[in-house]
Structure 1
């Protein structure tokens, strides 16, 4: 039976394996997340207890090949991101940080010894990773980072600060990016190393069922073989970020779909002036507008996935997906909230929680402004960043 929200029957363009994986992830969210997410959000609790379930489905580093990773396709990864973010952005963020950023960096730029040491345990959820790039004074321009790694005999000694680093306080290993005399390099740093400290950021109004931290690195000493040998310059972390940005283009459509579904169900049940509010023209206009943007955004994500699977996906195309889908998903969530009236500010309903989370998603992995300028550079050939 066709999903009533799938106005263009995009399901017909998915393979049986893609639909099966989507069903498995959706079932996990329905069973474990929906009954608990309001409480987790209120108490600022990240459900680490779900990590074994995510690993059981092969979702951690699922798009990577070898080393215990599932080797799934790009569309399968996207669908998993969508279903997890329909539960909460914090869950999809975990998938991104663990799989696309931390594991992705080790898989793309690590040595064979590093891959064999870390990736199988990370795929099983036995080791959690984080990705330390952003700094208090170097957000959209990571070339301005001040974290520095110096040689000391056969070791590296790293000093600096990182901010808004997902999972850092629960991570076992961190991929840290630092300036060296040889340019920007990446390092694998156990979080138990003396001088490494991760402090959760309190007072968040968004992404409350997730973990973001400040990291302090005070003369953290790591062996010489902790450096990622193939990671040189900012192009390396940017490749990791593009993997995460691709997943975001899918994930935010999950938050939008859940918000629209909530509004559609509520408006069908809620009666005012003697009839269901879904029968009023202004309500139907909102539902239609949300449905159109949801379907267009999902179609865009699917197009990006097929391009990625064929090896033709470009960074500019990823920016189109991240910019458009995040922007439209926020609008859908906010509009859905209006249909719920005063009840829409209650944690009983998801749209305002999703909208709040998406303010963070809109900011990380490149702000609207950054992605606008990436697309603008592609259109004009002129770099407007400086």
Structure 2
């Protein structure tokens, strides 16, 4: 569904003129507003909240959701290519849009008609920003063992506990929270929609990370946070099903972001090796380096085809959990390999902050961890192939 020209730019083949116009808009916005500020704002740890406001106003935070609630009604095949374009300009933005979309999923898929009418318009196009609260300090990959508890008190629930590794933690306007309402295991978990300004909700200082310094990641504390029952999403005890359904889609978002980072790294490597001369000719003329560039481009094309294939299954209403895990695994491993090679191709320059290659390398690493580590993806794939271990 896409080819790469000699400058490393992606030429996409999209299903409709509307989709082509949409990707053109995203490309223009990325080049005008996102990419020029990326290096400086990542270096200073600046979160681009104003950019997210403009993305919301342009309808880019609502793409895969129903039009009746302000959504863009775009297929995942198109939405994911938007994420890739944004992530290629700056991962903080692409990943942030993916997390926001994930945070909206439970309400859109499991909320009542009244809940969707009350909350989705603001979440999709009203300038609000969401966060998704599943992981905890003691339960990352083993999400079914979470300990944050919600206790019914008449017509309300009282939430107590701590969530960890929360993207947009402390700055989000709303949180989709998974909490334990019953016994141990996956059947005792329920989903809630919690406003960001709820009494008793607080956040720790953001984590100090290897990369993505402009994207705040923090623990979020719930100290007796009172949530009305009309903010419970789905049935009591249905929360783990809600979480898994969201994660399948979220993994495709991470896969698309990973290919965006890989594409940016390849474009940087192509531009550098074409302009850098050694021994009287461009570095790109040396066969060993040409083969590295060829391998990088091939891996990117394969990853893009894999995530788009999974997206088409989702758009057709077919099962796609196995393909989502494969896409997340392959695309994020690809991003890491391509980023490492980009640094190598730039030589000493690749190791300096004067060029973006080292930032792409630091950012690629986290994509192998978030939305389920790549070891978990292999477990998911194997379970689909040969059953539970």
Count residues with an aligned counterpart. Answer: 381
The secondary structure found in structure 2 opposite 1:218 is strand
Following superposition, the deviation at residue 204 of structure 1 comes to 1.0
Given that residues 5 and 291 in structure 1 are in contact (C-alpha distance below 8 angstroms), is that contact kept between their aligned partners in structure 2? no
Report the counterpart of residue 340 of structure 1 in structure 2: 346
Counterparts in 2 of 1:121-132, with a 5 A limit?
A: 121-132=122-133
Report the counterpart of residue 374 of structure 2 in structure 1: 368
Report the counterpart of residue 74 of structure 1 in structure 2: 76
Report the counterpart of residue 117 of structure 1 in structure 2: 118
Distance 1:321 1:165 in 2: 23
Report the counterpart of residue 247 of structure 2 in structure 1: 241
Task: Tell me the TM-score normalized by structure 1.
Answer: 0.94
Report the counterpart of residue 289 of structure 1 in structure 2: 295
Task: Tell me the TM-score normalized by structure 2.
Answer: 0.93
CA RMSD of aligned residues (A): 2.0
The secondary structure found in structure 2 opposite 1:215 is strand
Matched, 1:276 2:267: no
Q: 2:212 aligns with which of 200, 207, 210?
A: 207
Distance 2:279 2:223 in 1: 65
Change (3 A) 1:125 1:360: farther
The secondary structure found in structure 2 opposite 1:136 is coil
Following superposition, the deviation at residue 12 of structure 1 comes to 4.2
Q: Which runs of 5+ in 2 are unaligned?
A: none
Following superposition, the deviation at residue 87 of structure 1 comes to 1.2
Distance 1:280 1:215 in 2: 51
Given that residues 57 and 127 in structure 2 are in contact (C-alpha distance below 8 angstroms), is that contact kept between their aligned partners in structure 1? no
Matched, 1:190 2:195: yes
Q: Which runs of 5+ in 1 are unaligned?
A: none
Distance 2:348 2:73 in 1: 45
Distance 1:307 1:6 in 2: 31
Distance 1:77 1:93 in 2: 13
Given that residues 18 and 75 in structure 1 are in contact (C-alpha distance below 8 angstroms), is that contact kept between their aligned partners in structure 2? no
Q: 2:99 aligns with which of 78, 84, 97?
A: 97
The secondary structure found in structure 1 opposite 2:136 is coil
Distance 1:316 1:352 in 2: 32
